[in-house]
A and B are shown apart, each in its own frame.
Chain A
Amino acid sequence: MAGIEIRNLRIEYRIPNGEELFTAVNDVSLSVREGEFVSIVGSSGCGKSTLLLSVAGLVKVARGSIAIDERIVTGPGPDRAVVFQDASLLPWRTVLGNVRFGLEMQRWTGGDYTERAMSMIRLVGLGRFADYHPHQLSGGMRQRANIARALAVDPEVLLMDEPFGALDAQTREIMGEELLRIWEKNKKTALFVTHDIDEAIFLSDKIVVMGRNPGHIKEVIEVDLPRPRKPEILDTPRFTEFRRRLRAHLAADMAGMHLVEEVA
């Protein structure tokens, strides 16, 4: 397993049909220890997904560097796997076929693809649905399959880009619990993007709060709640205190956004 070391990262986009450069993330430095679960929160447009995708090697870095266990990231690699929001399963493949997909792409050498995929499908609780196509599954089940696909390639770092963003509140809570249950088994280094404050506190060892214009880190909050965590923890005074702190941050960000819009 490995930690993540981000140094003075800057990411720029060229606006489509324009010469102008848009800075999505500026001067971000962050270290994630081996086996740590870190969430990134922030209002929309703060570059949190961009930051995650750059760790995945899917976004070009303009300045600074990202290293996984001392190895500089230049593109996607077998040491990382991404769980995307929704609709990133291949619709023409079954659950089994989708979970096998990552193994096939990486030319995995650890044994039989189907056996490996099936064990991951069972781990996420989809054993009975291995032969189903994505459109036959609920949103929560699709995300279970997405998680199984990422875990199957046995990455050192698990990157999750709002994996539960498209789910209803109830399913979302169950999926959070499930994710913790799975994560507790092997404690992979995890980077998790969300805009749900409770979800971030419940899951994380550390929460990175990002702000906008351009995307930067405002604060890093250590969440020292004991593990393993159960949903009851949401009602404890310490949890409430974390929630209050994070809300204040995001509220300030939203207020700033309002001001910018008024000026414009």
Chain B
Amino acid sequence: MGMAVTSIRDASRRNVLQGWYPKRSSMVSFLSVAAFFILWQVAPELGWVNGRFTSQPSQVFLAGIDVVLHDNFFYHARISLTELALGFALALAVSIPLGVLLGTSQTARYLIDPPLMALYIAPTLVLLPILVVWLGIGMASKVAIVFLGALFPIVVNTMAGMREVDSKLIRAARSFGASKFDIFIQILIPGSLPSILTGIRLAVGRAVLGVVVGELFVSQAGIGHQLNTYGSSMRIDRLLVYALVVSAFGYALTAAVRAIEAHVRTWRPE
């Protein structure tokens, strides 16, 4: 009896301890963020830094409300989102079939692999000036830069995924009389899905970067255009609001793809 009571008490103490550790870690990160905001808020007021260059959290918060209410925020966001969505959709439509082709056909690989790798490694943003010359300063040049930025990570990862599918699985499928189409649908696609999603996740980052940089470079509207406007007019508070929107959006999108990846990978022990 006595022993049983002790063990229950031990167990509850262990639970308390186990509950404590994650709380402590989140507490530490919360405190560090809070300390940063407090420092940021008081530093200009104490004259440690020039508030004209750093702004303050309270000002950024107010600017955020101001931007949403009076700055055509949704108009600019819609422009940027449209460019992103169009460019990304085009990239998906081209890159996955291309990756599949390269992953399954050696001839195609010999033909396109070297230029593909060169383009994958080179930042596609270097093409921005020429795209503007070709397509103008409107949405088309941004769609094109998003397309180019997103294309290569997906192509390369789809190709790698197709090639890395275990040949033993293909042999097993063939032994049951699977056709080439069966093997493609039942083995190659599910087998390379994690790689394809990794490619898409990398592409999301490049696509968001492409839109913003494209608009920063030359544009008439969009989030990047607003960033440029407030940068050159020294409105640090508003600039930070837009910067925050971009990073939150990019983070959310990447996290969403990561969640799908985690779901798909349940069958694969890490």
Contacts and interface: CB of A to CB of B under 8 A. Distances in A.
25 contacts: A58-B171, A76-B177, A77-B177, A78-B177, A80-B175, A82-B175, A87-B166, A87-B168, A88-B171, A89-B172, A90-B186, A90-B187, A90-B190, A91-B267, A91-B268, A92-B191, A101-B176, A101-B186, A105-B176, A105-B177, A105-B182, A105-B186, A106-B177, A133-B266, A135-B269
Interface in A9-62: 56-58
Q: Which among B176, B182, B266 has the greatest number of chain A C-beta atoms within 10 A?
A: B176
Q: Is the interface of B mostly helix, strand, loop or mixed?
A: helix
A64 to B, nearest CB: 21
A33 to B, nearest CB: 23
Interface string B149-183: 00000000000000000101101111111100010
A135 B265 CA distance: 12
A interface, size bucket: 20 to 34
Contacts of A56: 175
A163 interface: no
B172 A84 contact: yes
A121 interface: no
Interface string A97-117: 000011011100000000000
B100 to A, nearest CB: 18
Interface residues of B, number: 20
Interface of A: 56-58, 76-78, 80-82, 84, 87-93, 101-102, 104-106, 133-135, 153
Contacts of A105: 173, 176-178, 182, 186
Given A58-B171, A87-B166, A88-B168, A76 B176 contact: yes
A92 B267 CA distance: 5
A58 B187 contact: no
Given A90-B169, A91-B267, A153 B176 contact: yes
A81 B187 contact: no
B217 to A, nearest CB: 43
**3 A-B pairs with the lowest CB-CB distances in the bound complex, closest first:** A105-B176, A88-B172, A82-B175
B119 to A, nearest CB: 28
B269 A106 contact: no
Given A58-B174, A88-B171, A102-B176, 13 more contacts: A76-B176, A81-B175, A82-B175, A84-B175, A87-B166, A87-B168, A88-B169, A91-B267, A92-B268, A101-B176, A105-B173, A105-B178, A106-B176
Contacts of B267: 91-93, 133-135
Q: Which among A58, A81, A101 has the greatest number of chain B C-beta atoms within 10 A?
A: A101
